[in-house]
Amino acid sequence: MVFDTKFAIVLRDDLAGWQKLNVTAFLTSGIVAQFPDIIGEPYRDRAGNLYNPLSIQPVIVLSADGSTLNAIHGRALERGVTTSAYVEEMFATGFDAANRAVFAEFAPEDARIVGIGLRADKKLVDKITKGARMHA
């Protein structure tokens, strides 16, 4: 299946392994909430066990340094693309309300973004994420 859109997660390249996984999970959940039609049908194995449905679209995971990630954040805002975003201070909170409270303390120019997720037209996502590279 060919998609007109691209689903990308961009992570700051200096995060610890557990942080990268945590941020990727949170950012992905935001994209799924924005685009619930991205979820397919439930899975069933040969024995008849039922499993949760998954995304029908592949997720591209990229990495970038802090300044490139800030530029990506700015380009997404300039182009009106709604994103999932995670700021560094959210690592010190323990629940959703605290995450939203600490997130609200920052403006785009001073937020320490550690990850951003977006889904939009392929060419637009490519322009926004320019400078990021495939996560290794």
pLDDT in the model for residue 2: 85
pTM equals: 0.94
Question: pLDDT of 83-122, one tens digit each?
Answer: 999 999 999 998 999 999 999 999 999 999 999 999 999 9
Is the pLDDT reported for residue 1 higher than 80?
A: no
In terms of C-beta density within 10 A (0-12 exposed, 13-18 middle, 19 or more buried), how is residue 84 classed?
A: buried
Spatial CB neighbours of 41, under 8 Å, sequence gap ≥ 6: 53
pLDDT in the model for residue 136: 83
pLDDT in the model for residue 16: 97
Average pLDDT over every residue of 122-134: 97
Q: Within a 10 A sphere around the Cβ of 76, how many other Cβ atoms?
A: 24
Q: Which residues are bridge partners to 43 per DSSP?
A: 51
Distance CA 78, CA 37 (A): 26
> For the chain, what is the largest distance between any 2 Cα atoms, rounded to a whole number of angstroms?
53
For the chain, domains (ranges, CATH) are 5-134 (3.40.1490.10)
Spatial CB neighbours of 52, under 8 Å, sequence gap ≥ 6: 42, 43
Task: Give the residue among 125, 126, 102, 124 at the shortest CA–CA distance from 114.
Answer: 102
pLDDT mean across residues, the chain: 97
